[in-house]
Copies of this chain bind each other. A is one copy, B any other.
Amino acid sequence: MGEGIGIVGSGIAGLHLGLFLRGHDVPVTIYTDRTADQVAGGRLPNTVGHHHHTLERERALGVHHWDANEYGYVCHHHYVGGEQPLRFRGDFAHPSSVIDYRLYLPRLMEDFESRGGEIVIEQVAAEDVDRLSQRHDLMVVASGRGSLQSMFARRPEQSPYDRPQRRLSAGIYAGVAYSEPKGVNIHFSPGHGELLELPIFSHQGFGTALLFENVPGGDLEVLADTRFEDDPAAFNRLVLEKLRAHYPMVVERLDESEFGLWGERDILQGALTPTVREDYVRLDGGGYAIAVGDVHTVVDPMMGQGANSASYSAWTLGEAIVSDHVYDERFCRRAAREREGLVLGVSDWTNLMLNPPPHVLEFIGAMSQDKALCDEFTSNFNDPEKQVDVLCTPERTRAYLARWAAGLTPAA
């Protein structure tokens, strides 16, 4: 046996797991290629919401440093464009929040070290994991960088797409007032994409993150390809022009004299292919490496689920680790089973929403006319398995809406 658990990666999965294990006095080493200062000073890594179940884990870990009642938001405002524009709101039972990971991760790295966790700054490739496993009882791969994701085979039956379904542009902007009540605004431009407008807390205080989810080949794809650095003013004009054309309900709250990206570090553009990978692999040296977070499941950011899934997965893995004493294949199989419901729920639900079939569009139509139904759907951002239960087949959606119309409480 070695020195406890080795974790490759210092994102939310690696840190939540590391903090959980330190809370149980398990020795933990996190291997990461960047220092806390480098993360803090780097490029915007994402614009991800933490929902209530994740915030509850933060509270249990003692790392909920940004009180969701002050920094968070309480609802989703939905805006559907077209000839008959729709606006409808869904309220959460408990607030969610968006904290820039350039603040969040360095702070948790500090927490982790102050609780006796070790951080080693080292670039780890797939071929290094076997070597590191000689020093640890179990290796956890919590980063999909470089060659690491090649360690875990793609699961085709869980991975319906072989290419990105959206091309992304996420940035933090000045000059957009928040909606009332403070919420995430979800705008739809059928055929071209979606815009998520998020109240983010970042290095300059509160700002507005605009996450453009652009359909490849659509009118908005240019937002993923145009570089801010080349001509900041032209970039801002382009964004404003596209907002006017596709998302006019943002423009209502926009101060043109103030509007613009915060700065060149505050934008992330790219694309990803939603993929579910195997849970674990046996290493040549006889140990096991288990995948957690993005290296296990990559989901499109549209439903704001990735970090929540990674945190959940880290927590259940932590529970599995402290309740066992040998980290063999039996351990890995159980750890995989325990997270499977939520993690595949996130993946299946998000994949469904990227190309919504008619019954899902009908469900959205029903929500637009029934705030209680929309509240239920909104709170179920904390229960992605339930979203799949409701939406995965026309029969399920129809039966759910019939129960709802009959006044039956949604199934517990």
Contact = CB atoms under 8 A, between A and B. Distances in A.
B412 A330 contact: no
| Interface range, A side | 20 to 34
A324 B400 CA distance: 9
B411 A323 contact: yes
Given A337-B340, A337-B341, A396-B328, A322 B389 contact: no
A389 B340 contact: no
A29 to B, nearest CB: 21
A255 interface: no
B323 A399 contact: no
Interface in A131-155: none
Contact of A326 (B323, B337, B340, B395): B395
Contacts of A388: 330
A325 interface: yes
A48 B179 CA distance: 63
Interface in A359-412: 388-389, 392-393, 395-396, 399-400, 403, 411-412
A322 B411 contact: yes
A384 B310 CA distance: 29
B322 A403 contact: no
B334 A341 contact: yes
A389 B325 contact: yes
Contact of A328 (B1, B324, B395): B395
Most B C-beta atoms less than 10 A away, residue of A1, A325, A403? A325
Given A322-B411, A337-B337, A337-B340, 5 more contacts: A322-B412, A323-B411, A325-B396, A325-B403, A330-B389
Interface of A: 1, 322-326, 328, 330, 334, 337, 340-341, 388-389, 392-393, 395-396, 399-400, 403, 411-412
